[in-house]
Structure 1
Amino acid sequence: METNQDRTTAAPGLGRYAIDPGGSTVTFRTRHVFGLLPVSGSFAIRSGTVDIAEPLDASNVSAEIDTASFSTGSRQRDAVVRSPRFLDADRHPLITFTADRLDGTNVLGTLTVCGIARPLSLSIAESTLSTGAFTAVATARIDRTAFGVTASPGMAGRHLDMTVRVRCARP
């Protein structure tokens, strides 16, 4: 199968694309133990769509992230973060992102964590285009306390540097 790939920040063709959960993830980096040690981890993207429109700023994105998929490789830490002290995954099984504007280099929308919605701008770092599909990488810095996730100040980092990688294809 022949694919035409172009590594760029250009927009894919007009229309609806489905986010492929198997090829998409949210990764993060932060610090813990009073900022002395780095920690990284990931969340799984459950589902989503990207609608590329003309004009481009009328495009929209919708994504659902599985809160219980939080993983840092430490079973104990992961269980604590999924617990009511932090993300409360049983009460808030989804983290959602909805965007109603794409300006070519930023995706502007709303991130909802633990039932609290805040504006979020994702900066598009790269996109790889192929026939009927694309992969995009975007970054953002999140302040967990803005979403009511305030447990363990000092021990758990306040800011998370997020990288979102999505693989999308026409349904």
Structure 2
Amino acid sequence: MRATLQQLSDRSSDRLSDQSSDQSSDQSSTDSPAGEWELDPSAGSVTFTVRHLFFRTAAGTLPVRWGSAEIGGGRTVERLEVVVDPAGFDTGNPNRDTAVRGPRFLDSATFPEIRFTAGPLVAGGGGWEIPGQLTVRGTALPQSFTVDTAASTLDAAAGRIEVHATAEIDRHACGVGAKSALVGPRLSVRIKAVFIRRSLATGQRGNSGLRGREDVSEPAGSGRAGSGAEMPHRARPSYN
């Protein structure tokens, strides 16, 4: 079942709400969320936790590089893409962070992007799901994120969408590190992504740190080349 932003608004007790949900025929186009949106890296975050040393937990962050989304005229999220920088892996432990960025784990020098791309939101068993592909170390795998509708907000008139989503990611399936009793195989990931309407974001670049697709190079090891055929309205993602 394909989800629309209005349906998400209803599911979250109006916390994810468009200020102009009752549109009239002469309503300004800026009151509709339809169109292209760009992610604001300075307002986004990726945080994660993983079991470490048996019962202890390690927590850390990854910086968001850029992203984009496309919303259809029926308020359907048609496409979503978010790119994360593995070279910014940070748990506050310099030795561990250097090791994880290195060849045995994320290999950020060879694969400088972790990418998630997806198509339409769908209704899942526990809420709204974002099914897509996660590309880590050049390998694309199916991955879904669950939208936290209670924390997410939409203000089409102001040109701002804030999405909070969570996922459990298997690092072994992504080819990140060898199996070990000291480090758990699964990461609990939470993403905060703030999208600005592209017409507004274009004017804000240089002041807010917003970057579009054309501002980011596509290195040979990014995972875009040689990982399968392109899907309509989808790029391939990557993540850790």
Structure 1: gaps (5+ residues): 1-5
Structure-2 residue corresponding to 1:70:
89
Q: Does 1:122 align with 2:145?
A: yes
CA distance in 1, matches of 2:67, 2:15: 22
More strand by share: 1
Structure-2 residue corresponding to 1:19:
39
Q: 2:118 aligns with which of 82, 99, 120?
A: 99
Q: Secondary structure at the match of 2:176?
A: coil
Q: Does 1:142 align with 2:169?
A: yes
CA distance in 1, matches of 2:189, 2:74: 28
What is the TM-score normalised by the length of structure 2? 0.64
Q: Secondary structure at the match of 1:71?
A: coil
Contact 1:9 1:124 in 2 (8 A): no
1:129 deviation in Å?
1.8
Structure-2 residue corresponding to 1:28:
48
Contact 2:170 2:187 in 1 (8 A): yes
CA distance in 1, matches of 2:68, 2:147: 16
Summarize the Cα distance change of 1:79–1:136 in structure 2 as closer, same or farther, 3 Å threshold: same
1:49 deviation in Å?
0.1
Letter in 2 for 1:100: G
Deviations 1:13-62 (A, max 9, x none): 111110000001111011111x2211111111100101112455561111
Q: Which has the larger radius of gyration?
A: 2
Contact 1:9 1:125 in 2 (8 A): no
CA distance in 2, matches of 1:72, 1:55: 41
Structure-1 residue corresponding to 2:16:
8
Q: Secondary structure at the match of 2:97?
A: helix
Letter in 2 for 1:7: R
Summarize the Cα distance change of 1:9–1:151 in structure 2 as closer, same or farther, 3 Å threshold: farther
Identity %: 36
CA distance in 2, matches of 1:90, 1:141: 25
**Which 4+ residue blocks in structure 1 deviate beyond 6 angstroms?**
9-12
1:157 deviation in Å?
1.7
Structure 2: gaps (5+ residues): 1-13, 22-31, 199-240
Q: Secondary structure at the match of 1:22?
A: helix
Deviations 1:50-98 (A, max 9, x none): 1112455561111111110111111111001001011101001100111
